[in-house]
Structure 1
Amino acid sequence: MKHLLSLSVGSSRASSSELIQFQGKEYRLTNLGVDYDVDMFESILKSYDGKCDAICVSYVPPVVVLRKKILMHNLYRLVRETVKETPVYFGHHLRAIIGNWTLRKSMEEGEFNCSNANVLFLTGLGMHELAKTLSPMALSCRFLDAWTLLRAPIIFKDLAALEKHSTVHAGRMEKLQLNDHLADGISRRLFKKWNRQKIQACDIVVAPANVISSFDPKAFKGKIILLDTMLPGLSEKLMAAGVQNIFYPQVRIAGADKSYGYSVSEALIAIDRGQEDTLSQEDLLDYYGVNDVDARLMQIDQTAGEVPRKFAFVIHPLSRRDVLRYPLFKPVGLLPSPMIKKFEALLAKAPGLPYGRISGVRSEATGVHADGYIYFVGATPRAMLDAKPEAIYDRINGIAKMAAREGVKIIGLGAFTKIVGDAGVTIAAQSPIPVTTGNSLSAAATLWAAKDACRKMGFLKPLPGSNVRVQGTVMVIGATGSIGKACTSVLGASFNHIIIAAINAPRLMAYQEELKEMYPECRIQVTTEPARFASQCDLIVVSTSATEGGAFGLATVKPGCVICDVSRPLTFSAEEAMKRPDVLIIESGEIELPGNDIRIDCDLGLARGVVHACLAETALLALEGRYESFTLSRNINYRKVKEIYKIARKHGARLAEIRSPNGIITDQEIELCREHALRALALTSGEKAVG
């Protein structure tokens, strides 16, 4: 019976002896580890040399052929110099072939895709052949060898830079102690945050299994991991830390009773071939040509293999308070008011800046992940409206180019960035990636929130003879604007009386004719003075600011009316809302993105996991793979409002808790508002009866 020694430089915990089967023959396999003890490693090599049929060595770095240098670790030389009689197998050629083969096969079958991914190798030298394969395929490949091997806070931005550094420092690299990456030295503690930032900036982490085991698994939360092999307990540890998915190659050769490590597999192939020497790549290819080799890229989570689809979103401050939310600008709040104003003026003309990230977004329908990049433009609404549209276009397109370099496939415009000029049309024409204003979902979320609020108030009754309409009056203020028009087009199917209000009478009249064609059975009125009709309405949607025709007082509003305020800043203050406890004032619907572990590392002014609907539209289009300029201009197609609503429901997005100017509204508060309204209506009816 032939005897194989499997000797690992690493852990001794898996040391054992077993009988294995290969091609109908029985072998004894002895597994030993030395816990990085080089003296013990050398002693075992000497004691087994000439006394076994093959020595299979693992965790010795592969020989790396550079342009001007061949890197050969001292342990590799030690093995070659120590073992004189027994054939030695490192498995390096087999690992390189299997790693590349399974990766390419998986990419062809669509199971693994790195074309839009930022890839980080914990050690590119340790997986040099795979690094050469992935570098031209991925969006970017960066290398953390200097940190992993030398504890130097340096990251190489391409393979050429890594190879140049390795050539210069070849002597030091060849003498590295292999357990240095395990040491918890001062560099590791000082640059822990730097290390985490570099890992968090990537999408896929590539590493030998023994190297990644030495890192804090929490550092890889939300990442896809590509390993050279799988170690016992490693997948459980990484998945428990929140890793998105783990890929690793597995090879099983026909005639073997199970899958073995690379060095053992290489030794078994050599013995089967009658070859007593290290196998070359050509030898292995010859063997594959006549034998059945089952090699595949395994994955732990079959539903989460795709790199997160990337989206971006542009925000800007609505007030000075919002300017000071940006972390770098918080100290500015300590300056005198005149200096703060000068700072705001300078910031209004500055280029856009990265603000934060959103991660953990995951579709409930498909399991696809999405990551968001948030960018900040420093102009307030007034500064933005006063600026030339071309200046705003240039700054936003600068952000779009910045986002495209990160692999972002679609960008959304927030608040006044989608109002300036032609509402995104010119920006989309100049942008390297599709642009959406998000107004379709803003309209859908507004209607979603309004429907929910009206249902809970319970005053609207079905129209006799109709299964879809209610007997009630809705007024949309700003009805000729993008969101207002979309809301009106959808509400026309639900109410029997619609009042459209705006400041431009000719546009109102044109839209009235359009609505009459769409809903001939619906009564449609127009006005430029919404205050005249406030007392008649069961629902009022405010989609424009008070300065643009949205002004009306609460005093004459009908008790029990629901006012849905889409405008920013809000039409009514918290103090004004409290004066009418019989009227339910809600903000436009915000959205809870799908995913059990949503992480937003910047201040959006909302609750955890909740975003504005326009941002949610961008994220949902990414989840859907709809990289297109979905919503542009001031004319929103109501069919798109319905479509994005269906997409939101499909992927598991939910309407966030209804909010008022005073904060979140509970069901108990809505019931209290209803009771106030019933009393006010009863009092009004009594006064009319007396009159």
Structure 2
Amino acid sequence: MKHIVSVSLGSSKRDHAFETDFLGEQFRIERIGTDGDWDKAIQLIRDLDGKIDAFGMGGIDLYIHLAGKRYVIRDAKKLVAEAKKTPMVDGSGLKNTLERKCILDIQREGVYDLRGKNVLMVCGVDRFGMAEAFEDVGAHLTLGDFIYTVGIPMPIHSLKTMRIVGGLAAPIIVKMPFDKLYPTGENQEVIIPKHSKYYYNADVLAGDFNYIRRYLPEKLNGQVIVTNTTTQDDMIMLKERGISKVITTTPDMGGRSFGTNVIEALMVTLMNKPIDQIKPEDYFGMLKELDMKPGVVDLEKFSA
């Protein structure tokens, strides 16, 4: 049996383990949170290195992809450096493939009509491929990177502007302490409504779930969420706060959706190729073979 472990800087309350079959191979998939403890995460990687088939890097990205350029997040290098024998991926290789495909599938298969809808991406630079796909299907974007990530009240409404402004800011942002940019550990359990008008004005809230959840208002009016890494408890909370539907970019696995880092680790294991030799077309080919479809939860009919 293949064994994949996502080592996350996030809350251990979101831990999960699941066994499944992919393309004839048996897999055990685990998510282990370290509650924001870097030393604990590093030790866990050291303990498992060479004993499992692939690591996922959860709660932090190694790379930011923006308009064809790749920026390395300095703090993430501390973790990946400890995986000396077992390949480790952060999901960024999939964000421009799986998540782009997900948006196109939502529109093409009639899951939800995105044309003309107002879409808030709390952080667009984290999922630039998804943002491009929303624009491709005719949605109206609001990118909240500066509002929610660095505290500057400046919404961005076009990818052209994001490429220019983000290209200037990214080299500085990736050198900042990661916990200043993204909720880790117990902070993932804290919801602090902030600049709520952008949530209220949106038809769709999209992107990383921890970013969306962090600033979620007490009560919304039927918005749809497009995200991943959701649990049953998350669904209960979202229903209580007025969300009508949750569409996940990764499928349900034993009652929850995993992050792209887990799905990428799964694919890397199946491809059996060095990570630096895997290209976007390899991911697209594997997605086609796995026939992954968006997960859809209608919260009006949901009960735990």
| Alignment TM-score, normalising by the size of structure 2 | 0.80
**1:106/1:297 contact within 8 Å kept:** no
Q: Within the alignment, does 1:268 sit opposite 2:266 as a pair?
A: yes
Structure-to-structure mapping, 1:217-256, within 5 angstroms: 217-218=217-218, 220-251=220-251
**2:146/2:152 contact within 8 Å kept:** yes
Q: Within the alignment, does 1:281 sit opposite 2:280 as a pair?
A: yes
**2:9/2:60 contact within 8 Å kept:** yes
Taking structure 1 as reference, are residues 65 and 143 closer, same or farther at Cα in structure 2, changes over 3 Å only?
same
Match for residue 42 of structure 1?
Answer: 42
Taking structure 1 as reference, are residues 273 and 136 closer, same or farther at Cα in structure 2, changes over 3 Å only?
closer
Q: 2:160 and 2:54 mapped to 1: Cα distance?
A: 37
Match for residue 204 of structure 2?
Answer: 204
Deviations 1:94-115 (A, max 9, x none): 3432222232122123331222
Q: 1:146 and 1:264 mapped to 2: Cα distance?
A: 28
Instruction: For residue 235 of structure 1, report the CA deviation from its aligned partner.
Output: 1.9
1:286 partner letter: G
**2:119/2:203 contact within 8 Å kept:** yes
**1:217/1:237 contact within 8 Å kept:** no
Q: 1:69 and 1:23 mapped to 2: Cα distance?
A: 33
Structure-to-structure mapping, 1:341-420, within 5 angstroms: none
Instruction: For residue 121 of structure 1, report the CA deviation from its aligned partner.
Output: 0.9
Match for residue 149 of structure 1?
Answer: 149
Instruction: For residue 162 of structure 1, report the CA deviation from its aligned partner.
Output: 2.5
Q: 2:171 and 2:294 mapped to 1: Cα distance?
A: 37
Taking structure 1 as reference, are residues 6 and 166 closer, same or farther at Cα in structure 2, changes over 3 Å only?
same
**1:251/1:294 contact within 8 Å kept:** yes
**1:11/1:36 contact within 8 Å kept:** yes
**2:9/2:58 contact within 8 Å kept:** yes
| SS in structure 2 at match of 1:236 | helix
| SS in structure 1 at match of 2:96 | helix
Instruction: For residue 17 of structure 1, report the CA deviation from its aligned partner.
Output: 5.5
| SS in structure 2 at match of 1:94 | helix
Instruction: For residue 18 of structure 1, report the CA deviation from its aligned partner.
Output: 5.8
Q: 2:224 and 2:22 mapped to 1: Cα distance?
A: 34
Match for residue 124 of structure 1?
Answer: 124
Match for residue 9 of structure 1?
Answer: 9
Larger radius of gyration: 1
Q: Runs of 5+ in structure 2 lacking a partner?
A: none
Instruction: For residue 130 of structure 1, report the CA deviation from its aligned partner.
Output: 0.6
Match for residue 111 of structure 2?
Answer: 111
Taking structure 1 as reference, are residues 141 and 40 closer, same or farther at Cα in structure 2, changes over 3 Å only?
same
Taking structure 1 as reference, are residues 219 and 206 closer, same or farther at Cα in structure 2, changes over 3 Å only?
farther
Deviations 1:222-254 (A, max 9, x none): 32222134334212211111123322223379x
**1:141/1:158 contact within 8 Å kept:** yes
| SS in structure 2 at match of 1:226 | strand
**2:65/2:128 contact within 8 Å kept:** no
**2:107/2:137 contact within 8 Å kept:** no
Instruction: For residue 45 of structure 1, report the CA deviation from its aligned partner.
Output: 2.2
CA RMSD of aligned residues (A): 3.3
2:293 partner letter: A
Match for residue 74 of structure 1?
Answer: 74
1:166 partner letter: G
* Number of aligned positions between the proteins: 293
Taking structure 1 as reference, are residues 20 and 171 closer, same or farther at Cα in structure 2, changes over 3 Å only?
same
2:170 partner letter: A
**2:6/2:32 contact within 8 Å kept:** yes
Taking structure 1 as reference, are residues 157 and 46 closer, same or farther at Cα in structure 2, changes over 3 Å only?
same
| SS in structure 1 at match of 2:149 | helix
Q: 1:125 and 1:246 mapped to 2: Cα distance?
A: 21
1:218 partner letter: E
Higher RCO (C-alpha under 8 Å, 6+ residues apart): 2
Taking structure 1 as reference, are residues 166 and 36 closer, same or farther at Cα in structure 2, changes over 3 Å only?
farther
Q: Runs of 5+ in structure 1 lacking a partner?
A: 304-691
Deviations 1:280-320 (A, max 9, x none): 3222233345x3424135142589xxxxxxxxxxxxxxxxx
Taking structure 1 as reference, are residues 210 and 280 closer, same or farther at Cα in structure 2, changes over 3 Å only?
farther
Q: 1:271 and 1:100 mapped to 2: Cα distance?
A: 22
Taking structure 1 as reference, are residues 232 and 38 closer, same or farther at Cα in structure 2, changes over 3 Å only?
farther
Match for residue 133 of structure 2?
Answer: 133
| SS in structure 1 at match of 2:119 | strand
Taking structure 1 as reference, are residues 35 and 252 closer, same or farther at Cα in structure 2, changes over 3 Å only?
closer
**1:19/1:28 contact within 8 Å kept:** yes
1:285 partner letter: F
Structure-to-structure mapping, 1:619-634, within 5 angstroms: none
| SS in structure 2 at match of 1:218 | coil
1:287 partner letter: M
Q: 2:292 and 2:50 mapped to 1: Cα distance?
A: 32
| Alignment TM-score, normalising by the size of structure 1 | 0.38
**2:227/2:246 contact within 8 Å kept:** yes
Taking structure 1 as reference, are residues 22 and 112 closer, same or farther at Cα in structure 2, changes over 3 Å only?
closer
Taking structure 1 as reference, are residues 220 and 9 closer, same or farther at Cα in structure 2, changes over 3 Å only?
farther
Q: 1:30 and 1:65 mapped to 2: Cα distance?
A: 26
Taking structure 1 as reference, are residues 153 and 2 closer, same or farther at Cα in structure 2, changes over 3 Å only?
same
Taking structure 1 as reference, are residues 196 and 259 closer, same or farther at Cα in structure 2, changes over 3 Å only?
closer
Q: 1:264 and 1:51 mapped to 2: Cα distance?
A: 17
Match for residue 639 of structure 1?
Answer: none
User: Residue 300 of structure 1: which of 280, 298, 301 is its match?
Assistant: 298
Q: 2:4 and 2:139 mapped to 1: Cα distance?
A: 43
Instruction: For residue 219 of structure 1, report the CA deviation from its aligned partner.
Output: 5.5
| SS in structure 2 at match of 1:10 | coil
| SS in structure 1 at match of 2:46 | helix
**2:243/2:299 contact within 8 Å kept:** no
Q: 1:263 and 1:251 mapped to 2: Cα distance?
A: 13
Structure-to-structure mapping, 1:463-482, within 5 angstroms: none
Percentage identity across paired residues of the two chains = 19
Match for residue 498 of structure 1?
Answer: none
**1:146/1:153 contact within 8 Å kept:** yes
Q: 2:87 and 2:218 mapped to 1: Cα distance?
A: 41
Structure-to-structure mapping, 1:568-647, within 5 angstroms: none
Q: 1:115 and 1:28 mapped to 2: Cα distance?
A: 39
**1:95/1:228 contact within 8 Å kept:** no
1:140 partner letter: H
Taking structure 1 as reference, are residues 80 and 105 closer, same or farther at Cα in structure 2, changes over 3 Å only?
same
Q: 2:28 and 2:109 mapped to 1: Cα distance?
A: 38
Match for residue 422 of structure 1?
Answer: none
**1:120/1:204 contact within 8 Å kept:** yes
Deviations 1:16-65 (A, max 9, x none): 56655445554444431122223332232233222322112223236334
Match for residue 338 of structure 1?
Answer: none
**1:50/1:86 contact within 8 Å kept:** yes
| SS in structure 2 at match of 1:225 | strand
